[in-house]
Amino acid sequence: MSAIYDRVALIGLGLIAGSMAHALREKGLAREVVGYARSEETRKTAREIGLCDTVYDSAAEAVAKADLVVLAVPVGAMGAVAQDIAPHLAKGTTITDVGSVKQSVIEAVQPHLPEDVHFIPGHPLAGTEHSGPRAGFASLFENRWWLLTPLPDSPAAPVEKLVGLVTAMGAKCDRMEAAHHDLVLAVTSHAPHLIAYTMVGVADHLRRVTDEEVIQYSAAGFRDFTRIAASDPTMWRDVFLHNKEATLDILGRFTEELFTLQRAIRMGDGQQLHDYFTRTRSIRRGIIEAGQDTEAPDFGRGATSGKMP
Amino acid sequence: MSAIYDRVALIGLGLIAGSMAHALREKGLAREVVGYARSEETRKTAREIGLCDTVYDSAAEAVAKADLVVLAVPVGAMGAVAQDIAPHLAKGTTITDVGSVKQSVIEAVQPHLPEDVHFIPGHPLAGTEHSGPRAGFASLFENRWWLLTPLPDSPAAPVEKLVGLVTAMGAKCDRMEAAHHDLVLAVTSHAPHLIAYTMVGVADHLRRVTDEEVIQYSAAGFRDFTRIAASDPTMWRDVFLHNKEATLDILGRFTEELFTLQRAIRMGDGQQLHDYFTRTRSIRRGIIEAGQDTEAPDFGRGATSGKMP
On chain B, the residues whose CB falls within 8 A of the CB of A304 are 292-294, 299
Contact present, B117 and B95 (Cβ < 8 Å): yes
pLDDT for residue A293 is more than 70: no
pLDDT for residue B306 is more than 50: no
The beta-carbon neighbor of A217 closest among B188, B201, B300 is: B188
> Quick one: pLDDT at residue A291?
63
Query: Mean pLDDT over all residues of chain B?
Result: 89
On chain B, the residues whose CB falls within 8 A of the CB of A200 are 280, 283-284
Inter-chain touch B265–A241, beta carbons under 8 Å: yes
> Quick one: pLDDT at residue A212?
64
The beta-carbon neighbor of A189 closest among B221, B277, B307 is: B221
Using pLDDT thresholds of 50, 70 and 90, give the confidence band for residue B223: confident
Query: Mean pLDDT over all residues of chain A?
Result: 89
Contact present, A16 and A136 (Cβ < 8 Å): yes
Distance CA B125, CA B271 (A): 36
> What is the per-residue pLDDT across B35-86, written as a single tens digit (0 to 9) for each?
999 999 999 999 999 999 999 999 999 999 999 999 999 999 999 999 999 9
Using pLDDT thresholds of 50, 70 and 90, give the confidence band for residue B308: very low
On chain A, the residues whose CB falls within 8 A of the CB of B250 are 202, 206
pLDDT for residue A217 is more than 50: yes
Closest-approach residue (CA) in chain A for B140? A302
Name the CATH superfamily, with its identifier, for domain A5-176: NAD(P)-binding Rossmann-like Domain (3.40.50.720)
> Quick one: pLDDT at residue B6?
98
From the CA of B69, how many Å to the nearest CA of chain A?
Answer: 25
Contact present, A222 and A203 (Cβ < 8 Å): yes
Closest-approach residue (CA) in chain A for B226? A284
CA angle B251, B254, B260 (to 5 degrees): 145
Contact present, B260 and B227 (Cβ < 8 Å): no
Range A180-307: architecture per CATH: Orthogonal Bundle (1.10)
Q: Across residues A159-188, what is the average pLDDT?
A: 94
Burial of A38 (0-12, 13-18, 19+ CB in 10 A): middle
pLDDT for residue A241 is more than 90: yes
> Quick one: pLDDT at residue B296?
43
Phi first, then psi: what are they for A123, rounded to 5°? Answer: -155, 105
On chain A, the residues whose CB falls within 8 A of the CB of B308 are 143, 291, 294
> Quick one: pLDDT at residue B302?
30
Using pLDDT thresholds of 50, 70 and 90, give the confidence band for residue A252: very high
On chain B, the residues whose CB falls within 8 A of the CB of A229 are 277, 280-281, 283-284
> Quick one: pLDDT at residue B305?
28
Picking from A20, A279, A274, A284, the residue whose alpha carbon sits closest to that of residue A146 is A20
> Quick one: pLDDT at residue B291?
63
pLDDT for residue B237 is more than 70: yes
Using pLDDT thresholds of 50, 70 and 90, give the confidence band for residue B229: confident
Q: Write down the domain spans for chain A.
A: 5-176, 180-307
Output the 3-class SS for B65-77. CCCEEEECCCHHH
The beta-carbon neighbor of B309 closest among A147, A255, A291 is: A291
Phi first, then psi: what are they for B51, rounded to 5°? Answer: -65, -40
Coil, helix or strand for B147?
strand
Inter-chain touch B244–A265, beta carbons under 8 Å: yes
Inter-chain touch A189–B293, beta carbons under 8 Å: no
pLDDT for residue A246 is more than 70: yes
From the CA of B14, how many Å to the nearest CA of chain A?
Answer: 13
> Quick one: pLDDT at residue A296?
43
Cross-strand partners of B145: B172
On chain A, the residues whose CB falls within 8 A of the CB of B222 are 187-189, 192
Inter-chain touch B128–A297, beta carbons under 8 Å: yes
Percent of chain A at pLDDT exceeding 70: 88
Q: Give me the interface pTM, i.e. the ipTM.
A: 0.83
A210: Cβ contacts below 8 Å, ≥ 6 apart: B183, B184
Number of other CB atoms surrounding residue B25 within 10 Å: 18
pLDDT for residue A243 is more than 80: yes
Cross-strand partners of B10: B35, B70
> Quick one: pLDDT at residue A128?
83
Amino acid at the residue B216: Q
Q: Which residue out of B139, B175, B283 would a mutagenesis test of the A interface target, given it has the greatest number of A Cβ atoms within 10 Å?
A: B283
On chain B, the residues whose CB falls within 8 A of the CB of A306 are 139, 142
SS percent in chain A: helix, strand, coil, step 5: 55, 10, 30
Contact present, A305 and B127 (Cβ < 8 Å): no
For helices A270-289 and A244-267, angle between their N-to-C axes, nearest 10 degrees: 140
Inter-chain touch B307–A294, beta carbons under 8 Å: yes
On chain A, the residues whose CB falls within 8 A of the CB of B216 are 145, 290, 292
Using pLDDT thresholds of 50, 70 and 90, give the confidence band for residue B217: confident
Closest-approach residue (CA) in chain B for A136? B297
pLDDT for residue B245 is more than 80: yes
> Quick one: pLDDT at residue B290?
67
Q: Across residues B106-129, what is the average pLDDT?
A: 95
Closest-approach residue (CA) in chain B for A131? B297
On chain B, the residues whose CB falls within 8 A of the CB of A266 are 244, 248
Inter-chain touch A300–B227, beta carbons under 8 Å: yes
Taking domain B180-296, whether its CATH number is 1.10.3660.10 is answered by: yes
From the CA of B4, how many Å to the nearest CA of chain A?
Answer: 24
> What is the per-residue pLDDT across B279-294, written as a single tens digit (0 to 9) for each?
888 877 776 676 666 5
From the CA of B255, how many Å to the nearest CA of chain A?
Answer: 8
